[in-house]
Chains A and B, each alone.
Chain A
Amino acid sequence: MQSSVKSEHGETARTPVIEVRGAAKSYGSIRALDGIDFAMNPGEVHALVGDNGAGKSTLLKILSGAIKPTAGTIYMDGRRVNLDNPQDSLDLGVATVYQDLALVPVLPIPENIFLGREPTRYGFVQRRRMVRAARDLFESLGQMNIRNIEASVADLSGGQRQAVALARAIHGGGRALLLDEPTAALGVRESEAMLELIESLKTPQHAIVIVSHNLAHVFRVSDRITVLRRGVKAGTAIREGTTTEEIVSLMTGATSASGEER
């Protein structure tokens, strides 16, 4: 299905679902990101790792259209696109679970899941449909027991909130899923459920990015690992060809970029 070309290294290169080239973002004098090339390939889970403040969330927000990069170009399926606002990337099939989850605490779960794309008839929101769909969604996810689907997000635990944000992202469909620290707020059992879920979401068409601090989690679910350090790319490696030690040394700056490939 996917257009494939053999690269000189003999590895199959497909047209990335999303790709950024030369992405940079400055906040005043702070350079949060500089000259980043990053690609999300179909069928791949691409992990993004790095210390606190390395720029992981910033890169993710550029991919989701939540912030505009200071420089750089974005391609979807090889075509150049402008992500002027989050709606643009949502329209292109990019779903995001932000690190802060981007939920509205005062609103009930169904309102949060359908935020921005409420089903309507004659302009009237079909709320009963929303409630039913939200319930079905949690049943199909099979994790996180949420007893009262009408509860406000403010009344949920950290894990339950994570589930709501993820349910929203999954329900949106789309071909690219961006997950910023999806296991950071979770306990051991919940983390395990989340990782299984991520594995189950992997299909030949979907591209997934997962930001995480936890290298054990990263090595378990990802196919490719990119390391950011102080806003620049320290390197990218195929999971099978690298080790925790190598990734750690890239994170801390003990070695410079190795195994360079996009």
Chain B
Amino acid sequence: MARLVVTARLESVLKSRVTALIALNGAFVLGVGLTVPAFATATNFEIILENLSFKAIILAGMVMLLAAGRFDLSVDGVAALSGITAGLLMERSGVGPLLAVLAGLAVGLGIGLINGIAVEKIGLNPLMTTLATWWAASGAALGLTGGSYPYDFPDSFHAVGRLQFADLLFPIWYAFFFVVLLAIILKFQKFGFHTYATGGGREAARRQGVKVGGVGIGLFVLVALLSAFVGVVFAARIGTAAPNAVDGFALQIIAAGVIGGASLGGGRGSIVGGLLGLLFLQMMSSAAFFLGIDPLWIQSISGVVLLVAIAADAFLRRERDEAGAGAI
């Protein structure tokens, strides 16, 4: 009896993934900050926040896609090709920045539609499909540059990634905007409810009149558009459109989403949770820098963190299933 109560209480605390992740992040800041004071400074947090912001923009859409039971590996390729398309148009074709940005976004729209239609209408496997479009897009990005990356952009383009508002870079505000907007849609709007239903029981949702294919296509397009946007903004921020600029984003973002409570099986996940997962991964990179750990090891550590998160999740769920069945 007593044990059951304790388990139940522990569970209700941990079940709120957000609470657990806030505690984890807090403990991490405290632990590393006490060891290396330079880690826990406003300057460093601004750097962390900036690095985080680009991934957070895509993450907001990816968590929704995960909730719908899908995922997208083509993110890095889409961002690269979009940034390079916009960059080349400005540098080598004399196209104005506005049109160039729109062309970059159009690349995202196109690849998003291809991903969405291939998976939802033709029924291709999402892993293979988005792996293929990632490959094709990053190959095209490399091929288009012909070896030299575009960098000669007008100032008005740089402004997109470099201006500040209230002491924070624009990309941070973009992230804020998309995270808040999409979190509201996912939690409170009909489309969000249908997203969870699609991922939690595709056939059941379909039979109750949910347009599951439409939800999937819409979210593939959303993620690709956000990726394209990030590709363009990133090029504006660093002043070059490089084909490998955002390599590794897709896996980090999906990992962050899963750490934050999403599952590849669909039906679950929260954008705030994913953001906290992303913050944790980003802080680990930063801490490694301050602790003098080779950045190459970060990838390995991130993998271990992901594994621990999945295992803890599976463990808690098994506990809950054993305790919960018939107790309602």
Chain A residues packing against B (C-beta within 8 Å)? 64, 66, 85-87, 90, 96, 98, 101-107, 111, 115-118, 120, 123-125, 127, 146-148, 151, 154-157, 160, 168
Tell me whether B328 and A105 are in contact (CB under 8 A). Answer: no
| The residue from B189, B193, B321 contacting A111, defined by CB atoms under 8 A apart | B193
A124 to B190, CA, bound (A): 6
Tell me whether B208 and A157 are in contact (CB under 8 A). Answer: no
Tell me, yes or no, whether B92 is within 8 Å of chain A by CB. Answer: no
A21 to B35, CA, bound (A): 79
A102-B203, A124-B189, A125-B189 known; 17 new pairs, CB 8 Å cut-off, are A86-B206, A87-B211, A90-B209, A104-B200, A104-B201, A104-B204, A104-B205, A105-B201, A106-B267, A107-B267, A116-B205, A123-B191, A125-B192, A146-B328, A147-B328, A157-B325, A157-B326
B183-221 Cβ-contact flags toward A at 8 Å (1 or 0): 000001111111011001101111111110000000000
- Interfacial chain B residues near A98, Cβ < 8 Å: 207
Q: What count of chain B residues pass the 8 Å CB interface test?
A: 28
B267, closest chain A residue (CB): A106
B266, closest chain A residue (CB): A106
A182 to B211, CA, bound (A): 26
A27 to B15, CA, bound (A): 43
Q: Of B194, B197, B328, which is in contact with the most chain A CB atoms at under 10 Å from its CB?
A: B328
A98 to B203, CA, bound (A): 11
Tell me whether B196 and A107 are in contact (CB under 8 A). Answer: yes
Q: How close is B226's CB to chain A, nearest CB, in angstroms?
A: 21
A64, closest chain B residue (CB): B207
Tell me, yes or no, whether B70 is within 8 Å of chain A by CB. Answer: no
A228 to B203, CA, bound (A): 26
B196, closest chain A residue (CB): A107
A115 to B267, CA, bound (A): 13
B101-135 at interface with A (beta carbon < 8 Å): none
- Interfacial chain B residues near A168, Cβ < 8 Å: 208
Interface of B is mostly: helix
Task: Provide 7 A-B residue pairs closer than 8 Å at the C-beta atoms, listed in order of the A residue.
Answer: A86-B208, A87-B209, A107-B267, A116-B194, A120-B190, A124-B189, A168-B208
A90 to B209, CA, bound (A): 7
Tell me, yes or no, whether B324 is within 8 Å of chain A by CB. Answer: yes
Instruction: With A111-B197, A123-B190, A155-B325 as known contacts, state yes or no: A102 contacts B208, CB within 8 Å.
Output: yes
A168 to B204, CA, bound (A): 13
Tell me whether B207 and A66 are in contact (CB under 8 A). Answer: yes
Tell me whether A155 and B205 are in contact (CB under 8 A). Answer: no
- Interfacial chain A residues near B328, Cβ < 8 Å: 146-148, 151, 155-157, 160
- Interfacial chain A residues near B237, Cβ < 8 Å: none
- Interfacial chain A residues near B162, Cβ < 8 Å: none
- Interfacial chain B residues near A120, Cβ < 8 Å: 189-190
B320, closest chain A residue (CB): A155
A168, closest chain B residue (CB): B208
A117 to B210, CA, bound (A): 9
Instruction: With A120-B190, A156-B328 as known contacts, state yes or no: A103 contacts B206, CB within 8 Å.
Output: no
- Interfacial chain A residues near B325, Cβ < 8 Å: 155, 157
Tell me whether B190 and A115 are in contact (CB under 8 A). Answer: no
- Interfacial chain A residues near B17, Cβ < 8 Å: none
A85 to B205, CA, bound (A): 12
A115, closest chain B residue (CB): B208
Tell me, yes or no, whether B55 is within 8 Å of chain A by CB. Answer: no
4 tightest Cβ-Cβ pairs between the two chains A and B? A104-B201, A116-B209, A116-B208, A106-B267
Q: How close is B185's CB to chain A, nearest CB, in angstroms?
A: 9
Tell me whether A123 and B197 are in contact (CB under 8 A). Answer: no
- Interfacial chain B residues near A96, Cβ < 8 Å: 207
B265, closest chain A residue (CB): A106
- Interfacial chain A residues near B321, Cβ < 8 Å: 154
- Interfacial chain B residues near A115, Cβ < 8 Å: 197, 204-205, 208, 210
- Interfacial chain A residues near B196, Cβ < 8 Å: 104, 106-107, 111
